[in-house]
Structure 1
Amino acid sequence: MPLQQLPVISLRADRDALGSCIREASQETGFFYLTDHGISTDQVSKAFEMTDALFSDRSPEAMEEKLRTQDRINNSGYTALMHEKLDPTKNTAGDLKESFYVKKFASGQPQQPLPSSLQSQADELGLFFESCRLVSLRVLEGFALALGLSHDYFAPHHHAELDRLRLIHYPPAPVTSPDSNGSIRAGSHSDYGSCTLLFQKDVGGLQVDLTNGHGGHWIDVPPKPGCIVVNVADAMEFWSASRFKSTQHRVAMPQNESQTSSRYSIAYFCQPDENARLEPLKEDWRSEIDKTKFASLLHKEGITGGEYLQARLAATY
């Protein structure tokens, strides 16, 4: 019987149990719910309040302020509705969402222009970024243990240089047939880095393709109280010589009336450092990796985290 829901993994588990659970999830689905992660409900709620305040003000002044923060070279700031197109095979103008990318703070200070609604709560924003960073490092420990490596194998290559916290708003939309070829809230894609942490509020829509593009067995991943959705991303799939799966996922158009209102989510993208070498863990990795996804890397012994990220961003915007 096909899997219909993701596994739930506790971050409080001992190392052996954590490695075993993450190994199974990363090999089978590439996605799992993470519980007992240490980020309080209150902190998550405040992050969503900031997200709501950022996108609910549609005045010309607020929109202009957001647009001035755009910095595609450094992958930070505002991205407008339909500016991003995650699935180039879809005949659409772009994804029905807008977002704001936040870089790592330095000495408690933001390293980019912030709209006034975020600037007024910069301390809270920086603390939330740091909380996500710490959880991502624990997930990386779990990945290392799952591969039979030292628990600190991946962490030294992740200093959050390229990590981004992404505040996301999907505007209200009508109920749409799942078989429709029309607009999509976020097209089918896999993420770029080592792992992603996703916080969902109360409106569903996230779907994961358990066939990873080979038949379209999509399952819903609804919000689960107290849980973060975690997924393996492409750099980790390459690094692990495809022992782990970076799985296709999307945000579908509303399938019922409960999903037609604004949808908010917050993603933390954990990326390898600029100069981190992504060297696959097996000598015969070329016979193991997904040749569609990594065809351009077949001639390389390794690639840096920065090189890989820039190549993927160039294909998206």
Structure 2
Amino acid sequence: MDSTTQTTIPVVDFAKWSLSGSARQRVAQNIVDACKKVGFVYIVNHSLPEQLLDEAFDWSRRFFDLPQDEKLKAPHPEGWAVHRGYSWPGLEKVSQAISQDSDQKRAEQLREVPDVKESYDIGSENNPTQPNQWIPEESLPDFRAFMTQFYWECFRVGGEILQALAIGLDLDDNHLLLKHSGNNNQLRLLHYPPIPAEALESHRAARCPAHTDWSSITLLFQDDCGGLEVEDVNRPGSFVPATPIKNAIVMNVGDLLQRWSNDHLRSTSHRVTLPPLSDRFEGEQRVTRRRFSIPYFLAPDPDSMIECIPSCMGADEPAKYEPITQAGYNQMRASMQY
């Protein structure tokens, strides 16, 4: 790739995934090529219905519009071990630090610049180690039922993408999917409240600092506000906008899939900052619009061993990483976040 060329995020049309033979293979290869070069890809014409996505954003707005005392009826539990429920602005601090190379002082330094966002995390009802924290039914009737349905619909589509990745890596189509029962995934509703642009520009506050995801892959749905940026693989430390495309899935490789693939696939750093267009601000203080996004993280089951995929190693290319379970990797990352 020409180092003078700014990175662009590829767009892959998923419409022909339902076919067989060469058409299906091309879809798979296009996704893997994007994951090798950039680590991010827009997936359009996927099988998640547009109406369902619109409903999901409507429910998210309704949840975050609830009074604070209602949202706090489902608080994120203390500590890092359970990652469910409502996180109020300032509770979470996203970073690349892991517990093995950090200490309490480092954690306190990270928190000097708060992340101005709130979130609500949902998982499978079949995961006893990560119990959901639901608000009472009367606080937002049918919210729980919809989000449970949406969780499994996202997994269905994510499973198709995992199959495509496997085929593009010369594996059996279920090689990756077999380690993902769906019960260890995470559906996250995110709300970035309005904030003066100057607070972000002066680094007194952040929306979501640069980081990579811990998962196998992430499916992201975003509104039209903008603000998501992806590190330019040709210019490390620089970022390019992931401009919203209506109904597209922004799919990215997570750390575990990068380890699995022996760095063949990129887990690329990304962040949420100011929207790129001046009309996203209001008033003399240039206050940002609210931003909503919905990431869905596909993770292997906790006892799954993450070790190098055979097609990604050889006599001249040994495995770069020691095997590790999903639970072991998750512990290293999560203990620094809360």
Measured against the shorter chain, the TM-score band is: 0.7 to 0.9
Change (3 A) 1:239 1:284: farther
Q: Is the counterpart of residue 105 in structure 1 residue 125 in structure 2?
A: yes
Q: 1:19 aligns with which of 2, 6, 28?
A: 28
Number of positions where the alignment pairs a residue of Structure 1 with one of Structure 2: 303
Post-superposition CA distance 1:61-114 (Å, at most 9, x none): 31431337678422111112122222368674321111011011359xx95231
Q: 2:193 aligns with which of 161, 171, 182?
A: 171
Deviation at 1:169, TM superposition (A): 0.6
| Matched ranges for 1:35-54 at <5 A | 35-54=44-63
Gaps in structure 1 of 5+ consecutive residues: 290-297
Counterparts of 1:119 and 1:193, CA distance in 2: 31
Q: Which residue of 1 aligns with 2:100?
A: none
Q: 1:240 aligns with which of 252, 261, 267?
A: 261
Q: Which residue of 2 aligns with 1:308?
A: 329
Post-superposition CA distance 1:190-247 (Å, at most 9, x none): 00010000010121100000238x6322110121012010000000000000000000
Conserved? CA contact 1:101–1:166, under 8 Å? yes
AA in 2 matched with 1:30: G
| Matched ranges for 1:270-289 at <5 A | 270-281=298-309, 282=313, 289=320
Conserved? CA contact 2:76–2:83, under 8 Å? no
Q: Which has the larger radius of gyration?
A: 2
Q: Which residue of 1 aligns with 2:89?
A: 81
Change (3 A) 1:133 1:80: same
Deviation at 1:182, TM superposition (A): 3.6
Counterparts of 1:244 and 1:2, CA distance in 2: 20
Q: Which residue of 2 aligns with 1:115?
A: 135
* TM-score w.r.t. length of structure 1: 0.87
Q: 1:262 aligns with which of 282, 287, 290?
A: 290
Conserved? CA contact 1:70–1:78, under 8 Å? no
Gaps in structure 2 of 5+ consecutive residues: 17-22, 98-108, 282-287
Q: Is the counterpart of residue 31 in structure 1 residue 31 in structure 2?
A: no
Higher mean C-alpha displacement, 76-85 vs 175-184: 175-184
Q: Matched residue of 1:229: which SS?
A: strand
**Sequence identity percentage:** 28
Change (3 A) 1:99 1:284: farther
Q: Which residue of 2 aligns with 1:94?
A: 114
